Amino acid sequence: TAGVAPTDDSFTIVAPGPADHDRDGPALVSDPDLGFEGLRSFGPNLVHHTQLKIRSGLATNAFMMVDSPGMIDSPGGDGRWERGYDFEAAVRWLAERADVILLFFDPDKPGTTGETLSILTNSLAGTDHKLHIVLNKADRFERIHDFARAYGALCWNLSKVIPRKDLPRIYTMCLPTARTKGGLGLDDLDRSREEVVGHAFAAPARRLDNAVTRLRDSAATLLVHAKVAHHARTQATWAKLSLYATTSAAAAALAA
């Protein structure tokens, strides 16, 4: 999420379970069945800023959700390390393993924080097929002029970091409250929210597609490595033959 100052500074993982209980970061990364042991590579600061919340009675038991810390402006220096760990790399690690990515923007700062732009540029590059951009809390706008200004600002900021002629769709939605029942434009927000929820619930079905995509990318990388290794081996072989021929010629000249 991006917008106002975050209320917490931890990655929160919500998973279904038979009973409600919480686990801290060290316990999370120590459980091989959960698949988060790779977070150890980012150091203890990230591990201690990660938590697991197992909840019963969720709407689905088919997937788990990861809520990242809110992204804010960096006062200076290398923003990647101001949290005590490489935030961009951690987001990238999670994004590569996610089946659906929802990037929420609040109306207060629609894509204007430096950390948000760096995450889009460095961490979420290449995830367009599963990335959905959402302008949340759109019911806060009292005038259409305010909405247009925030939406335009978000589009402008995204255009600076997304190397595409056409921007991806931006879903405008709000949380379901009594205020969203009817009213000018509010029905559209409800429909947009339902689409976003539909994308989230489609995560299990997308997992196979994403697995095929990762396999294709890995195969392409392996092919490049194989070509480089083959070229290096060929060059080394020719170098040895050339050296052998030169040595033989020199020996023959000395014998003569």
Portion of the chain with pLDDT greater than 70, in percent: 84
Q: Which residue has the higher pLDDT, 254 or 218?
A: 218
| Sheet of 131-135, strands arranged across | 101-105, 131-135, 170-172
Interatomic CA distance for residues 172 and 184, integer angstroms: 14
pLDDT exceeds 60 at position 7: no
pLDDT of residue 73: 60
pLDDT, residue 45, reads 92
What six digits make up the tokens of 250?
A: 């020199």
Out of 59-73, 123-137, 152-166, 239-253, least confident range: 239-253
In this model, does residue 41 exceed pLDDT 50? yes
pTM: 0.73
**pLDDT bucket at 78, cuts 50 / 70 / 90:** low
pLDDT digits (tens, 9 = 90+) for 85-95: 899 999 999 99
Mean local confidence (pLDDT), 70-88 = 68
pLDDT given at position 27: 93
CA distance linking residue 3 with residue 6, whole number of Å: 8
Label residue 46 by pLDDT band (50, 70, 90).
very high
Query: How far apart are alpha carbons 69 and 77 in whole angstroms?
Result: 19
Q: Is 103 exposed, middle or buried (0-12, 13-18, 19+ CB in 10 A)?
A: buried
* Residue-level pLDDT at 179: 55
Phi first, then psi, for residue 14 (nearest 5°) are -105, 120
Q: Which position has the token pair 């939406």?
A: 151
Segment 161-188 mean pLDDT: 73
pLDDT over threshold 70, residue 8: no
Which of 11-15, 18-22, 129-133, 237-241 is predicted least confidently? 237-241
